[in-house]
Amino acid sequence: MLSLEEGWKWPALALFLFLVTFGSVGLLSLGYVICILIGGMVMTFYHGRQLSQSALQMELPDLPRSKPGVLTVVNKMESSPKGKNFDRRMTGASVIDEALHEVLTYAIRDYIKSWYRQVSDHDGFVLDIRQCVQKLTITFASRTKDVDWMPFFSQRLVDDFASHLRLYRRARDDATVPPTDELYQEQVQSAFFDLEVAMEKDKCRDLVCLDPEAEKQYLQNLSEVLLFLLLPPDDFPNKTFRYILREVLVNGIFIPTIELLSDPDYLNQYIAWLCKDGSFTNESFLTVIKSSHLVGELEAVKEITEQNIAKWRSRDTGGADDAVIKQKLNSLLFVKNICEGRIRRIQEGSLDDIEEAPDICRAKNIFVLSLDEIIENNIALAVFIEFMTNVCGQQYLFFYLNVEGFRTAAGQQILDAQQRAMNGMSTEADLESLRRAAMIIYDQYLSDKASSRIKLESDIVKRTLQKIKNKNIAEDLFDEAQSKVYQILHSEQYYEAFLQSNVYLKMLQEMGLSKPDKPEDGDTSSLDEVPRIIWFRVRK
């Protein structure tokens, strides 16, 4: 067998034998055959090309020339619709709508797309959820406009909050162990819910408040009710979609919000943030001292106060600033006296043991506050409101305060409207808003169907309504009714009974207006003038 290197010898031997056998004639014949084949192929290709061109020109003369492929695709993509444009309006206020859309985008990103992208990349489901939530928000906004929020925020919410605090304080008082004991929290919880059952007759919320599973079930039922009221009729029968929204509401919004608001660290940080943005008034500082039950805090305040007293006394050398220095010293001595009195009462255990004083108004060295001073002072007003609530006369006091707020806001708004009228601008919108605000007060306190109706002469009520309906509305339209209510408040049933009550004496002691056991030089018992509380604000 020949190797690969010797394989070229066979073709050479075959060529040699061909030349010897046929000679040059055979070689020329082979060349002719190859040329004929190549020429035939060239002629066939050329003739076929000519026939194809002539056939295209004769049979399809109007066939347009096609565009390049890339340009065609680009043009089709540009002419295709870029997506659906949805109406982004929710509440009618652009500022609120933008914030709601931002919150909705983050909620879908965190609670929907986090698991939906593992199922599908199609955005139809996400868009449907966004549209559904948008419709839900629109329905909620439209229905909230039909709700009368004034009685809820000014009465029901305040009453519920005050009732909760009252029950909690009574539960703490009923505890038989000190706060440091392990059983203290359990006793307070048990006493709180027992008192709640006694107050609510047949309602107790201990299971919802103490059991996480019961709380979750309650929130799920609440979400079902909200979705039934707010979801479009076409979306609510879809159980899968409804359950997804329910779980997002419960586990993504309700429960985290409740846990956040129940976290002491968050509340302390929020209070600290509020303290940085605004400064407390002197009266707020004194209120905190008078309501404190911790001896350590009071001792710390007293120590800092004594340091400041020593510092200001070192500067008391006479001169132009002598009056300012003495005023500072008097204020610091007043704070020191309050701290010492509060510490003494805590140590003696006499915070709630106030001696009976039936003739307190006539007692010697007892400070008597007028009704105007009580209304103008925040601490006294809070105690007076609680007293009026206990004697079922709070509606008279609330009416008086609301009218005071209306008069202040209406006077400023009428002055602004007069200035606009001088400039040729329309003032009907401002006056109409005042009329609506006045009608809210009338419907709440004076009308026959009022929820907190006060008893006044029918002539006064009719004249007040006529003033409200008058074209030229004025800020003094409630003056006649308010004057009558002031007389009722000043009667023996309310104001004089308040002066003879134990809560009035306790209030004087808390405010530092009763006779101290050990008076010190420079002490002062005067009331600081504070702004009148405005309970009602007119919106422009």
Determine the pLDDT at residue 535: 33
Read off the tokens for 356. Answer: 């009976």
Provide the total of helices (H) and of strands (E) in the chain, helices listed first. 24, 0
Query: How far apart, in whole angstroms, are the C-alpha atoms of residue 494 and residue 490?
Result: 7
Read off the tokens for 83. Answer: 């997506």
Read off the tokens for 82. Answer: 């870029």
Determine the pLDDT at residue 216: 92
- Exposure string of 462-472, with b = 16+ CB inside 10 Å and e = fewer, is eebbebbeeee
Query: How far apart, in whole angstroms, are the C-alpha atoms of residue 527 and residue 177?
Result: 39
Q: Block means of pLDDT (10 residues each) for the chain, length 540 residues?
A: 60 78 77 86 85 71 58 61 61 80 86 84 82 83 82 81 85 84 86 85 82 91 89 83 86 89 88 72 76 85 89 74 76 85 79 42 61 84 87 87 84 76 69 83 85 85 86 81 87 84 82 55 38 33
Query: How far apart, in whole angstroms, are the C-alpha atoms of residue 189 and residue 193?
Result: 6
3-state secondary structure at position 62: coil
Token pair 């409101």 in the structure block, residue:
385
Phi-psi region of 228 (alpha: psi -120 to 50; beta: other; left: phi over 0): alpha
- First-to-last alpha carbon distance for the chain, in angstroms, is 114
Read off the tokens for 37. Answer: 């084949």
Token pair 């059952």 in the structure block, residue:
197
Determine the pLDDT at residue 320: 64
Query: How far apart, in whole angstroms, are the C-alpha atoms of residue 87 and residue 77?
Result: 25
**Burial class of residue 86, CB neighbours in 10 A (0-12, 13-18, 19+):** exposed
Apex CA 125: angle with CA 124 and CA 130, to 5°? 95
Read off the tokens for 361. Answer: 């108004």
Determine the pLDDT at residue 175: 84
Measured in whole angstroms, the distance separating CA 328 from the mean position of its chain's CA atoms is 40
**How is the chain split into domains, by residue range?**
22-53, 94-144, 211-277, 279-353, 357-516+526-540
Query: How far apart, in whole angstroms, are the C-alpha atoms of residue 172 and residue 174?
Result: 5
Token pair 């006493």 in the structure block, residue:
191
Measured in whole angstroms, the distance separating CA 529 from the mean position of its chain's CA atoms is 33
**Range 111-120, long-range pairs (CB < 8 A, 24+ positions):** 111/248, 111/252, 112/248
Helix ranges (H only) for 349-393 are: 371-376, 378-390
Identity at 273, one-letter amino acid code:
W
- Nearest alpha carbon to residue 467 among 477, 480, 482, 481: 477
Token pair 């003879």 in the structure block, residue:
500
Read off the tokens for 533. Answer: 């509380």
Sequence-distant (6+) residues with CB within 8 A of 401 are 375, 533, 535, 536
Token pair 């400070």 in the structure block, residue:
367
CB 500 within 8 A of CB 359: yes
**Burial class of residue 503, CB neighbours in 10 A (0-12, 13-18, 19+):** middle
3-state secondary structure at position 232: coil
3-state secondary structure at position 239: helix
Measured in whole angstroms, the distance separating CA 500 from the mean position of its chain's CA atoms is 42
Measured in whole angstroms, the distance separating CA 386 from the mean position of its chain's CA atoms is 28
- Nearest alpha carbon to residue 259 among 250, 271, 272: 250
Query: How far apart, in whole angstroms, are the C-alpha atoms of residue 414 and residue 185?
Result: 55
Four-residue CA torsion sign, 304, 306, 312, 314 = negative
Query: In angstroms, what CA-CA distances link 386 with 162, 177, 198, 200, 369?
Result: 9, 29, 21, 20, 17
CB 151 within 8 A of CB 451: yes
Identity at 415, one-letter amino acid code:
L
**Range 505-508, long-range pairs (CB < 8 A, 24+ positions):** 505/354, 505/357, 505/360, 505/366, 506/354, 507/379, 507/380, 507/383, 508/366, 508/367
Architecture in CATH for domain 357-516+526-540? Orthogonal Bundle (1.10)
CB 465 within 8 A of CB 448: no
- Nearest alpha carbon to residue 478 among 451, 449, 454: 454
